[in-house]
Amino acid sequence: MKPTTLYEKLWRAHVVREEADGTALIYIDRHLVHEVTSPQAFEGLKLAKRPLWRVNSILATADHNTPTTHQEVIADPVSRLQVDTLDKNCAEYHITEFPMGDHRQGIVHVIGPEQGATLPGMTVVCGDSHTSTHGAFAALAMGIGTSEVEHVMATQTLISKRAKTMRVVVDGVLPKGVTAKDVALAIIGHIGTAGGTGYAIEFAGSAIRSLSMEGRMTLCNMAIEAGARAGMVAVDETTIEYVKGRPFAPQGELWDKAVNYWRTLVSDEGAVFDKEVTLNAVAIEPLVTWGTSPEMVVSINDCIPDPQLEKDPIRREGMERALKYMDLPAGKPMSSISIDKVFIGSCTNSRIEDLRSAAEVLKGKKIAANVKLALAVPGSGLVKAQAEQEGLDVIFKEAGFEWRNPGCSMCLGMNDDRLSAGERCASTSNRNFEGRQGAGSRTHLVSPQMAAAAAIAGHFTDVRALIK
């Protein structure tokens, strides 16, 4: 038989029907729902008097609007209405929801895997572009719009066409202080924010194999920042070990049957990809973004690039605009950029391993005097509890961080956690777009360890000097 890519296997396993032109109906196994992109979908269902196709495919939680400080009810009435609307819709349709206050509540892309609601071989969708995260489990996971949320609710399918396939191979051993986040940024810097458009990316190679599931989730999470709707990693022992015993995961005989199937979820030897990209893990350094697109990224030991050296006029203009917005001059060393705030959290970097790695850097240290606020926001109630059991909260608090409740928080600031205009943030989130963390905000994307190092120094600094 012809060798097949992982993507092709996942695609074929979910085709309900396919038209001659390649337009297909793809069956959706897991539908994750949050408060921001679902109200209009529920409204559409109600107006058309359509039932949910399969209620137990859905897991819902509120994450974008939820306050990270203790609030009995959400103070902002507009946010409160959106969260209440989700609660009401879930109650009406008997959907499993982890509402605010539930110890399992958290960022949708953290709780899915944590609960075992994301399993290898699944199709996973959510009205959220970072749904690519779940591809870490060899799932076909994609962000969708609200119309598609409604379509999945009503039909359990998505209208789709095969994506092109790209394999990004990262071989070698990642140096200490270089994490999955740096690998993600290195890939985006290499192929660009539109480099993955139209593709499903499989991340492979020895450096990827040696990543934990948390690291793989960070990597797949940022596939969308390279333009790819889906990112994925093949199944191995790390995948199976992570899933085992999770609340929604199969047990007993079914577990054995499932594992047998899951082990086939790898690209066959000799499978052909439409595009191949190779990176050397040893050469990847801790990275920091300098502009307003994740592809505007350099090593901590580099300087801000000079737009005048860019030949393409549109790119040059983009660089100039970004530097103006970021209030930074070309040629400035990255390590000389001082910061106002630090954010450790988001669906990219709020899992237990992220908090552990930041705490390792922070232990026994204090944040710099010029850092006005440092936030640590665990990805879920369970991550928070685990971190507290390990005493990580104490390390964060003693260093001067605020230890908050789970949610999307300052990644996009739909709750109260925002930057003020002109403020500069070392952020473990995924987007450094203009205004992303608040109107006029300036975001630099980094790994949790690099964010912790910047918090202590008050400016960006090479974390490798701190963790020998």
Partner 1 sequence: MQAFTQVTGVVLPIDRSNVDTDAIIPKQFLKSIHRSGFGPHLFDAWRYLDEGQPGQDCSKRPLNTGFVMNQPRYQGASILLARDNFGCGSSREHAPWALSDYGIRALIAPSFADIFFNNCFKNGLLPVVLPEAVVDKLFKAVLATPHYQLTVDLTNQQVRTSDGESFSFEVDGFRKYCLLNGFDDIALTLRHAEDIKTYEAQRQLAEPWIFGVNR
Could you say which residues in the range 213-232 bind partner 1, by CB under 8 A? 224, 227-229
Give the C-alpha distances (Å, rounded to integers) separating 351 from 17, 243, 382, 385, 416: 38, 15, 10, 12, 22
Q: Which is nearer to partner 1, 80 or 356 (CB)?
A: 80
Classify 105 as helix, strand or coil: coil
Residue 126 CB-half CA count within 13 A: 32
Q: Which is nearer to partner 1, 311 or 468 (CB)?
A: 311
Of residues 305 through 364, those in contact with partner 1 by CB under 8 A are 314-315, 317-318, 321
Phi, psi of 83, rounded to the nearest 5 degrees? -70, -40
Pick from 357, 415, 439, 375: nearest CA to 181: 357
Q: Which is nearer to partner 1, 226 or 453 (CB)?
A: 226
Q: Is the dihedral of CA 73, 430, 218, 262 positive or negative?
A: positive
User: Which of 117-125, 211-219, 303-311, 392-400 is the region at the interface with partner 1 (rule: CB under 8 A)?
Assistant: 117-125
Least distance between partner 1 and beta carbon 200 (Å) = 10
Number of amino acids touching partner 1 (CB under 8 A): 83
DSSP string, 282-321: GG---EEE-SSSTT-EEETTSBPPPGGG--SHHHHHHHHH
Q: Do β-strands 140-143 and 424-427 pair in parallel, antiparallel, or remain unpaired?
A: unpaired
Of residues 6 through 65, those in contact with partner 1 by CB under 8 A are 16-17, 19, 21, 23, 25, 27, 29-30, 36-37, 39-40, 43, 48, 50, 53-54, 56, 59, 64-65
Q: Which of 156, 267, 357, 461 binds partner 1 (CB under 8 A)?
A: 156
Q: Do β-strands 58-61 and 30-33 pair in parallel, antiparallel, or remain unpaired?
A: parallel
Classify 27 as helix, strand or coil: strand
Of residues 425 through 464, those in contact with partner 1 by CB under 8 A are 431, 433-436, 439
Question: Which tokens go with 359?
Answer: 């705490």
Least distance between partner 1 and beta carbon 229 (Å) = 5
Outline where 124-212 has alpha helix (H): 146-155, 180-191, 206-209
Binding pattern to partner 1, positions 85-104, x when CB under 8 A? Answer: x----------x--------
User: How far, rounded to the nearest angstrom, does the alpha carbon of residue 207 sit from its chain's CA centroid?
Assistant: 19
Of residues 293 through 312, those in contact with partner 1 by CB under 8 A are 293
User: Which of 148-156, 172-180, 212-220, 362-370 is the region at the interface with partner 1 (rule: CB under 8 A)?
Assistant: 148-156
Of residues 257 through 276, those in contact with partner 1 by CB under 8 A are 257-258, 261
Q: Which is nearer to partner 1, 40 or 335 (CB)?
A: 40
Specify the amino acid at residue 201. I
Of residues 363 through 402, those in contact with partner 1 by CB under 8 A are none
Q: Which is nearer to partner 1, 170 or 297 (CB)?
A: 297
Least distance between partner 1 and beta carbon 193 (Å) = 6
Give the C-alpha distances (Å, rounded to integers) separating 280 from 69, 142, 176, 182, 183: 42, 27, 15, 12, 10
Q: Which is nearer to partner 1, 188 or 300 (CB)?
A: 188
Least distance between partner 1 and beta carbon 58 (Å) = 8
Of residues 159 through 198, those in contact with partner 1 by CB under 8 A are 159, 161, 193-194, 197-198
Give the C-alpha distances (Å, rounded to integers) separating 269 from 55, 162, 164, 203, 266: 38, 21, 18, 15, 9
Least distance between partner 1 and beta carbon 32 (Å) = 12
Instruction: Give burial (CB, 10 Å; 0-12/13-18/19+) of 441.
Output: buried
Q: Which of 61, 82, 179, 429 binds partner 1 (CB under 8 A)?
A: 82
Q: Does the footprint of partner 1 cover residue 71 (CB under 8 A)? A: no
Q: Which of 2, 247, 270, 331 binds partner 1 (CB under 8 A)?
A: 247
Phi, psi of 330, rounded to the nearest 5 degrees? -60, 145
Q: Which is nearer to partner 1, 163 or 169 (CB)?
A: 163
Q: Which of 106, 135, 143, 189 binds partner 1 (CB under 8 A)?
A: 143
Alpha-carbon torsion, ordered 226, 227, 233, 238, to 10 deg: 60
Q: Over the range 372-387, which residues count as b (16 or more CB within 10 Å of their CB) and which as e?
A: ebbbbbbbbbbbbebb
Question: Which tokens go with 215?
Answer: 């690291």
Q: Which is nearer to partner 1, 128 or 340 (CB)?
A: 128
Least distance between partner 1 and beta carbon 89 (Å) = 10
Q: Which is nearer to partner 1, 209 or 316 (CB)?
A: 316
